[in-house]
Amino acid sequence: MTPRFSPLARRGIITGPRFTPIVQALPSIVPFVAPEEIERSRGRRFAVRLGANELTFGPSEKAVRAMAEASSSAWMYGDPKSYELRAALADQHGVDPLNIVVGEGVDGLLAYTAHLLIAPGDALVTTRGTYPTLNYFVAGRGGHLHTVPYGDDDRQDLDALLAKAWEVDAKVLYLVNPDNPSGTWHPAERIEQLVEGLPPGCLLLVDEAYHELGVDFDANAHVAVDDLRVLRLRTFSKGYGLAGCRIGYALGAPDIISAFDKVRNHFGIGRVSQAGALAALQDQPHLHSLRGRVAHARATLGGIADEHGLAALPSATNFVTIDCGRDGAFARLILAELLERDIFVRMPGAAPLDRCIRVSCSDDTDLAVFRAALPAALEAAHSKMSPPGACKVYKD
């Protein structure tokens, strides 16, 4: 058959797709450079991977077995309603399945939320430097992002967030609690006060990805699940160790939850992920044992920081953010020196937290590798920042 060409193509005029004006105006930015990409650019693997906030202890053995068994049925699509998982989650939380929607991790749910609520010119308020993925989705919808800095205690400043939401008539106030990248958190009563202070028509979007690893397992917002002012996001990526499965869920009023069906990818969750999440949820003893291991790792990282005159921020997550005592330039040098020693960690990207590095919790073997590499990394970073004869960062 003779190929058919358009008149323009026959004249040698080739045109590309007509992107929307919003997309055309956006910069080409990738929010996170994956550790695999860094390894490819370096030409070698990391000795330890402590920068992606993954639960390095891994998932429940029951979850692994369930996924292995489900793999033989991977030729079938997943249940578009995630019926069994939603029923189990509803039982776990004492709510109705109509209060729950399952999505492709918190990130997928953030994308759907932006699709539902953000139109060109709409305002969203968040903390400058907190988990940034939602910012990209808001920009992709043509929304206006308004930020406030962290408070002096390295916690998100709830009063400032609320004031900004009133000032700009925000449709969404986004709060990560416990926070990434600081690791800090606000107790339930402060979240409840925040809800009561919201301007009319503003949704409080609470990202609770680290909830299961918190200092107090039930210390997050106790706002009624049917409250139309609040939507809460959870994930199986952190406490349940299933980051590679990309599965999470939202808790909210049925009128909010049902709206997701208008925009979500109904076949976005595979059968293997659904089986793993359900088995992980049902293995609560494993989750509680992991909480103890994470708490031990947090204490170990705090001790490592203290050994070198650094300060660990309070953490209710599976990472510890370590104040390096100077500024972002110094922290970036430490990060680079650790990278040279095959240690993958990250750092917050915005001041004032950019004076810190952020290290994921892991077992004693991995943390021993980090502990051994840190002194030389600090020494090298310090020598590049300080004039000859300046004092070192170590304690006597």
Range of the domain at 369: 35-55+285-384
Task: Give pLDDT, residue 16.
Answer: 84
Task: Give pLDDT, residue 324.
Answer: 97
Residues 248, 194, single domain; the answer is yes
Predicted structure pTM score = 0.92
The encoded tokens of residue 114 equal 């932006």
DSSP secondary structure string, 70-114? Answer: HGGGTTSPPPTT-HHHHHHHHHHHTS-GGGEEEESHHHHHHHHHH
Confidence of residue 196 (pLDDT cuts 50, 70, 90): very high
The total domain count for the chain is 2
Find, among 138, 207, 199, 136, the residue nearest to 170 by Cα.
Answer: 199
Find, among 132, 105, 178, 157, the residue nearest to 346 by Cα.
Answer: 132
The residue-averaged pLDDT of 269-293 equals 97
Residue 70, domain member (yes or no): yes
Residues 314, 359, single domain; the answer is yes
- Say how far apart CA 270 and CA 77 lie, in whole Å: 6
Residue with tokens 């004249």: 11
Residues 242, 365, single domain; the answer is no
Q: Is the pLDDT of residue 131 over 60?
A: yes
CA distances from 257 to 75, 226, 233, 236 (A): 29, 10, 11, 19
- Say how far apart CA 223 and CA 180 lie, in whole Å: 22
The encoded tokens of residue 217 equal 């397992």
- Say how far apart CA 180 and CA 176 lie, in whole Å: 7
- Say how far apart CA 301 and CA 223 lie, in whole Å: 33
Residue 218, domain member (yes or no): yes
The encoded tokens of residue 68 equal 């292995």
Residues 91, 159, single domain; the answer is yes
The CATH number assigned to the domain holding 299 equals: 3.90.1150.10
Q: Is the pLDDT of residue 7 over 70?
A: no
- DSSP label of 342: T
The encoded tokens of residue 378 equal 């600090």
Share of the chain above pLDDT 90, in %: 86
Residue 116, domain member (yes or no): yes
Residues 109, 90, single domain; the answer is yes
Residues 201, 128, single domain; the answer is yes
Residues 205, 295, single domain; the answer is no
Three-point CA angle 319, 367, 374, nearest 5°: 95
Q: Give strand pairing partners of 249.
A: 102, 234
The residue-averaged pLDDT of 174-189 equals 96
Residue 20, domain member (yes or no): no
Of 221, 253, 282, at which residue does a domain stop? 282
Tens-place pLDDT, residues 225-276? 999 999 999 999 999 999 999 999 999 999 999 999 999 999 999 999 999 9
Confidence of residue 393 (pLDDT cuts 50, 70, 90): very low
Q: Give strand pairing partners of 358.
A: 321, 346
The residue-averaged pLDDT of 292-314 equals 97
Residue 356, domain member (yes or no): yes
- Residue 230 near residue 199 (C-beta atoms within 8 A): no
The CATH number assigned to the domain holding 68 equals: 3.40.640.10
Task: Give pLDDT, residue 12.
Answer: 67
- Helix, strand, or coil here: 163? helix
Task: Give pLDDT, residue 396.
Answer: 32
Residues 235, 183, single domain; the answer is yes
Name which of 32-36, 148-152, 352-356, 373-377 the model is least confident about.
32-36
Task: Give pLDDT, residue 385.
Answer: 83
Residues 301, 278, single domain; the answer is no
Q: What is the mean pLDDT of the chain?
A: 93
Q: Is the pLDDT of residue 394 over 80?
A: no
- Say how far apart CA 230 and CA 221 lie, in whole Å: 10
Residue 201, domain member (yes or no): yes
Task: Give pLDDT, residue 15.
Answer: 76
Task: Give pLDDT, residue 3.
Answer: 57
Q: Is the pLDDT of residue 163 over 60?
A: yes
Of 232, 247, 282, at which residue does a domain stop? 282
Radius of gyration of the chain (CA): 23
Residues 249, 321, single domain; the answer is no
Residues 269, 125, single domain; the answer is yes
Of 264, 282, 300, at which residue does a domain stop? 282
The residue-averaged pLDDT of 367-380 equals 98
Task: Give pLDDT, residue 355.
Answer: 97
Task: Give pLDDT, residue 390.
Answer: 43
Residue 7, domain member (yes or no): no
Tens-place pLDDT, residues 11-70? 667 778 989 999 888 888 777 788 999 999 999 999 999 999 999 999 999 999 999 999
Residue 155, domain member (yes or no): yes
Handedness of CA 228, 230, 231, 235 (dihedral sign): negative
Residues 73, 129, single domain; the answer is yes
Task: Give pLDDT, residue 217.
Answer: 53
